[in-house]
Structure 1
Amino acid sequence: MPSNDTPPGPRANRLSHFGDPLVMLLSIGFILAFVALSLYDITLVADTISAGFAWTAETLGTYFQLLLLLTFLIAIGVAISPAAGARVGNLTSPQLSTFKWLSMIMCTLLAGGGVFFAAGEPIYHFVVTPPAFDTQAGTAEAVAGALAQSFMHWGFLAWAVLGSLSAIVLAHAHYVKGQPLKPRTLLYPVLGERVMKGVTGSVVDACCVIAVVAGTVGPIGFLATQVSFGLHELFGVGQGFATQLAILVALALVYVTSAMTGIHKGIQVLSRFNVFLALAIAAVILVFGPTLFLVNAFSQGFGEYLNSFFRMATMSAETAPAWWMQWWTVFFFAWFIGYAPLMAIFVARISRGRTIREMILAVAVMAPVATSIWFTLLGGSGIHYQLTEAIDLTEALNNFQFDVATLTVAQALPGGTFMALAILVLTSIFVATTGDSMSYAIAVVCAGHDEPSPLVRAFWGIAMALMAGILLYMGAGQIGALQQFIVITAIPVSLVLLPSLWAGPQAAYAMAREQGILPVAEKDASQPG
């Protein structure tokens, strides 16, 4: 059994400072090709991705939905099983305190997108009734359904696919079997040793890295436009490319420094600061905002979420408009699938010493509830102001201008300009925590172990910032095109996740037997543990 103190697998990667050269070649090649083709013909790239995006959403949308639903249900089954008492990483106690651990989970998994959409999405579903409900848009009766639909997109299913079953598989494979912390390891139960060496494994890893690059560059680029817009509206600062570039450089400096210092320093400190700031903002909104409305809205919205859970989770193009499914449920679910393997690597790394039950409940239950509360505080406040005609975001949200929605709601909250500035800072740091954790996770994939070189972490952080800057120079539309591309990358990545549906429970029970929590089956008694 590998040592608890020494990460298994690094010796295989010492010949190459950056890890698997083919993964690097394919991943960097994608970045260069996307930028080059965009420079050559922006319209061609955007139209091609848009066509692929539409086809994927229409053809595979139901498959993506079922994958997330099954992952959540099976993960909860594992969490209540006897095997859930096994500990991750062969440690008898956690490496990180509970608060630090939960902070890193909350600030990493859905941070960038969740904060960006928290104000606008509930209001959008309030002014445009989701297909799962038949309430009249813009009325008090529409509040519960609007919040419930937002909870569906950012709730149990989204979180579960990011760090439950796949994290269990990776934790057992890496910390017990000595296999590398790479996405290809998730396919070992199906393909065996042939996926661990050679071209197939490298292509698998590269697909997952490309999906995360596409999914992370989007929030980084959108943040630059959002903060630029916010500074312009609040202080009259110019919102041209120069301002966006300055914001991008500042953001990159923060998350690259954080990624280089590692999980126990920069990433942890940044996450903790952001949680404290989020709690302070939440307290101000709850105490000085429309308190009774928010309490009632959360209660009714979460109740409707649970009541309509399966109807929303299995909504298809036959029961909902194709455009709605494409731009909402399928888009989000595919985005989470694209992130999932590298997020699972990060969860497995920070959860050493935690029980499987703690890991699943934190990721798949506690974090979604916290996310729903945050969406209620921001989005619910926006709905209240929209309902009372203090603001009107109907036109902006019909044009998907979520940066306008966030700032408008923030200015309407108690504190006005101060609150708007605080939320801009919060959003920026949330995106930074996504940037540092994904820079770290990509470096882990390249290295194959959980202590990758700080230079490799910095390289990937800078590469994503540079890509965002180049695409912003071409126009925000190219950032949007790249964001749509993650739906296409979800196709191969979803196949990487599929074996976890059965390998996750198997790994949990194997860990429980190895740790003496469950008796060793007779057929395994003669085999080495």
Structure 2
Amino acid sequence: MSTVSNTIKAASVTPPKTLVEKLGLNNPAFWLSGGFLTLFVALALYDKALLSQLVNTGFAWSESVFGPYWQLLMLMTFIIAIGLAVARTGAVRLGGLARPEIDSFRWMAILLCTLLAGGGVFWAAAEPIAHYVTPPPVFGTEDNNTLMAFNALSQAFMHWGFLAWTILGSLTSIVLMHLHYDKGLPLQPRTLLYPVFGERVLKGPLGAAIDACCIVAVAAGTIGPIGFLGLQISYALNALFEIPDGFTTQFIVILMAIVIYTISALSGVNRGIQILSRYNVILAVALLAYILIFGPTSFIINGYLHGMGSMIDNFVPMATYRADEGWLSWWTVFFWGWFMGYGPMMAIFIARISRGRTIRELVLAISFIAPVITCFWFTVVGGSGLAFEIASPGSVSGAFEGFNLPAALLAITQQLPLPILISILFLILTTVFIVTTGDSMTYTISVVISGETEPNAIIRSFWGIMMGATALILISLGSGGIQALQSFIVITAVPVSLILLPSLWTAPRMARVMAKNQGINLDN
């Protein structure tokens, strides 16, 4: 009997994975996405001007042809998500768990740090002053400087508020959590199209192409901020401490970021990512409180209330504005493309950390609470800059001239008490925001390539190092390489936006199915 039992046990033991399997080299999506990114870098090294020309042409075509569709997709996603949350379907519990596996504070901290990323610091300083200097066409020029400032905040709120957050993981997370945890389908972007194509999309070239498109989009969206982190920190160190602003400093900054986010990704969602997110939220709250106490407090409070009210009052006109396509292409459509490119992969990450949450908790956290917090953060940082600019014209806009994002941030922090300390803390905050996005996206790409919810260390390290190395190569060419990649993000949003579309009707349908299975009465 013991011999037979040992034979059965030996036969049931899973053979160890080969290096090819550990790296996901047997997954066509690896070769499609990795090959495309390699080709992009090779073209940047060979002829940066040609690459910029191709990217700019594709950018113009994407925003012209798909801009109106993207605006409608964003608006409809928000409306349907809120509808599911407030209806009885909001009580549906996701992920097959009776209670959340991550407590609410840590869960919210991970969401904020991962989705807000470094853009929430530098853009929070730069976008309001940009809209103040050149008023958005939906508002136009005003004689009252304070009103112009509040309108500038409203426009920034539209770009970083309800619609932006909702597309990053509301309806798509509902679809993925049902199909993965309840139906056993893979936690991959291709699963979003299973209701449309059925089994065909799970295996074969179509599924691989879908996964590859989403990997390229999120890799581009992550590599860009990593590269800009090197450029921005290098600029700031030069401005504050006269450390040379060159490739050596940029290289060291990015190398440190690679090490931190790769180690964090290796430790998993329940350790490194949670720890970084928690301490970064604490630092952000401390800085927020400091500016509220020692900064232009009255202006911040008035700006937030007026800006939010104005944005809500003009919500649909701002979301569907089409009168100035040139302005739209460099603002609203650019941001929409950037956020949509992250959509499927962020949904995978959110699905991984949100087991046990109800639809109502998920949607309200992502589509309401996080945007409200984000808009307040933009008011504290960017609103302070507007107040300083009104009091001393040119004090912020002069530094920002030429679209210098890190200079705008430093121009604000340098006008606060303890300017050196506050500037350093903001640089740390920015770094950890981007590191948090780097580790979460390293983890998520590894999940997609490996097909496992806990990818092995080799594949996590590979993708973490690969994204950082790509950023280093591109910044070695000057800021143009990173800027081309940032513009390319909008092009990647074209196929990704088509992948997001079916969730408009599949998420409500699946919510009703889950409600029925959980005994929730939807008829009364």
Distance in 1 of aligned mates of 2:130 and 2:15: 50
Query: What does 1:476-495 correspond to in 2, within 5 Å?
Result: 476-495=479-498
Asked whether the equivalents of residues 93 and 353 of structure 1 are also in contact (C-alpha less than 8 Å), the reply is yes
Instruction: Verify the 8 A CA contact 2:89 2:522 in the aligned structure 1.
Output: no
Secondary structure (helix, strand or coil) at the match of 1:192 reads: helix
Q: 1:382, 1:297 → 2: CA distance? A: 12
Q: Which residue of structure 2 aligns with residue 411 of structure 1? A: 414
1:123-179 Cα distance to aligned partner (Å, 9 max, x none): 111111101102337811212210000000000000000010000000000000000
User: Is 1:126 aligned to 2:132, yes or no?
Assistant: yes
Note if 1:507 corresponds to 2:496.
no
Post-superposition offset of 1:405 = 0.6
CA-to-partner distance for each residue in 1:314-346, whole Å, 9 max, x for gaps? 011xx12x3311110000000000000000001
> What residue in structure 1 maps to residue 374 of structure 2?
371
Q: Does 1:221 align with 2:227?
A: yes
Q: Note the C-alpha offset of 1:516.
A: 2.0
Letter in 2 for 1:309: F
* CA positional deviation for 1:18: 3.1
Residue 160 of structure 1 corresponds to: 166
1:181-260 aligned within 5 A = 181-260=187-266
Q: Secondary structure at the match of 2:414?
A: helix
Measure, in 2, the Cα distance between the counterparts of 1:117 and 1:162. 18
Residue equivalent to 1:387:
390
Tell me the CA shift for residue 390 of structure 1: 6.3
Give, as a single letter, the amino acid of the residue that structure 1 aligns with 2:22: H
Structure 1 residue 518 displacement after superposition: 3.4
Q: Is the 8 A contact 1:259 1:457 kept in 2?
A: yes
Separation (CA, whole Å) in 2 of partners of 1:124 and 1:103: 29
Aligned partner letter, 2:23? F
Match of 1:460 among 453, 458, 463: 463
Summarize the Cα distance change of 1:410–1:444 in structure 2 as closer, same or farther, 3 Å threshold. Answer: same
Post-superposition offset of 1:12 = 13
Instruction: Give me the identity figure in percent.
Output: 50
Pair 12,92 (structure 1): closer, same or farther in 2 beyond 3 Å: farther
Cα distance, 1:513 vs structure 2: 1.6
Give a deviation string over 1:250-303, Cα, whole Å, max 9, x none: 111111111110000000000001000000000000011111111111110110
Q: How far is 1:398 from its partner?
A: 4.8
Asked if the contact 1:127–1:138 (Cα under 8 Å) also holds between the matched residues in 2, the reply is no
Deviation at 1:484, TM superposition (A): 0.5
In structure 2, the CA distance between the partners of 1:14 and 1:355, relative to structure 1 (3 Å rule), is: farther
Q: Which of these residues, 292, 296, 300, is aligned with residue 286 of structure 1?
A: 292
Contact 1:391–1:408 (CA under 8 A) maintained in structure 2: no
Deviations 1:11-33 (A, max 9, x none): 99967223352111011111211
RMSD: 1.6
Q: Aligned partners of 1:161, 1:13: CA distance in 2, in Å?
A: 39
Match of 1:446 among 425, 445, 449: 449
CA contact (8 A) 1:284 1:414 kept: no
Report whether the alignment pairs 1:302 with 2:311: no
1:17 — aligned with what?
Answer: 22
Q: Distance in 2 between matches of 1:290 and 1:519?
A: 49
| Cα distance, 1:410 vs structure 2 | 1.6
Which residue matches 2:123? 117
User: Which AA in structure 2 matches 1:413?
Assistant: L
Match 2:75 to one of 55, 69, 73:
69
| TM-score, reference length from structure 1 | 0.93
After superposition, give the CA deviation of every residue in 1:354-411 in whole Å (9 maximum; x if it has no partner).
1111000000100000000000000000000000016533355452111111111121
Matched, 1:427 2:430: yes
2:49 corresponds in structure 1 to 43
Shift of 1:414: 2.7
Aligned 8 A contact 1:75 1:360 in 2: yes
Q: What TM-score do you get using the length of structure 2 for normalisation?
A: 0.94
Q: Deviations over 1:62-83 (max 9, x none)?
A: 1111111100000000001111
Using the TM superposition, name which of 14-23 and 28-37 deviates more: 14-23
How many residue pairs align between the two structures? 507
Alpha-carbon separation, structure 1, partners of 2:402 and 2:319: 25
Query: Contact 2:396–2:412 at 8 Å: present in 1 too?
Result: no
Name the SS for the 1:96 alignment partner: coil
Which residue does the alignment assign to 2:4? none
CA distance in 2, matches of 1:436, 1:95: 20
Q: Flag the 1:129–1:407 CA change in 2: closer, same or farther, 3 A.
A: same
User: CA–CA distance in 1 between the matches of 2:469 and 2:83?
Assistant: 43
Counterpart of 2:412, as a letter, is V
Q: Distance in 2 between matches of 1:513 and 1:452?
A: 34
- Measured in 2, the distance between the counterparts of 1:296 and 1:31 equals 46
**For the residues of structure 1 that align with 2:428 and 2:145, how far apart are their CA atoms?**
32
For residues 26 and 281 of structure 1, do their structure 2 counterparts lie closer, same or farther at Cα, with a shift above 3 Å needed? Answer: same
Q: State the Cα deviation string for residues 86-145 of structure 1 (Å, max 9, x = none).
A: 111110111001000000000001222222201010111111110110233781121221
The residue number in structure 1 matching 2:99 is 93
Distance 1:13 1:463, change over 3 A: farther
Residues 30 and 138 of structure 1: CA distance in aligned 2, closer, same or farther (over 3 Å): farther
Q: Is the contact made by 1:127 and 1:137 (CA closer than 8 Å) also made in structure 2?
A: no
What amino acid does structure 1 have at the position aligned with 2:434? V
Q: Secondary structure at the match of 1:170?
A: helix
Describe the SS at the equivalent of 2:454: coil
